[in-house]
Structure formats: C-alpha cells, structure tokens
Amino acid sequence: MSVYIGNLSHEIEDEDIRQVFLMYGVVRRILVSTNQKSGEKRGFAVVEMETDTEEVAAINGLRGNEWMGYSLKVNRAKTVVDVA
C-alpha cells in the first residue's frame, strides 16, 4: 500500500517529499498530483515506500505535522492511481 499526503503547499517539489519520507525508509515512487491543463500542483501526492512497516511509520510520524505552513493530512492511500 502507499501513503496519501494531502494539504501540501503548491510550491512542493518531489525532492522535498523524498527528503522527508527518507527519514522513515526507502522511497520507491512519488506521484505529485498536477492539473493536466495548467501543470499547477493540486496539493496532494502519493508516496510508495519499500515496506508496509515503513509506510506505517511515515503515517504515524507525519500525520498532523505542520510543513511549509500547512497541517499535513497523511493516510494510507486507498489505491495507487495516476495523480498527474
């Protein structure tokens, strides 16, 4: 399963997310949602990590924390989807 991370700054970059999630384990993939027409970020992403244990640690460690001025919403993603 993957991790949904919402309420992100629209200025966020993949590398910003990668650096934070690396504290909890190996990051396999990051999908930052963007508007298909404008290319603007939509404020959420899906992060796939190496193991379920790492995902749970990231969820517990990040849920509700403030990052870049926003209170994060972090949960298990229901499905891995193309968020672009």
Q: Tell me which residue range forms the domain holding 72.
A: 3-76
Residue 23 in domain: yes
pLDDT for res 31: 94
Residue 72 in domain: yes
- Cα torsion angle, 30, 62, 23, 78, sign: negative
Residue 13 in domain: yes
Residue 11 in domain: yes
Domain count, the chain: 1
Residue 34 in domain: yes
Residue 83 in domain: no
pLDDT for res 81: 54
**What is the token pair recorded at 83?**
């968020």
Render each residue's pLDDT in the chain as its tens digit; 84 residues: 799 999 999 999 999 999 999 999 999 999 999 999 999 999 999 999 999 999 999 999 999 999 999 999 999 998 655 444
pLDDT for res 82: 47
Tally Cβ neighbours within 10 Å of residue 31: 19
Residue 84 in domain: no
pTM for this predicted structure: 0.87
pLDDT for res 15: 97
Residue 35 in domain: yes
Here the CATH number for the domain that contains residue 45 is 3.30.70.330
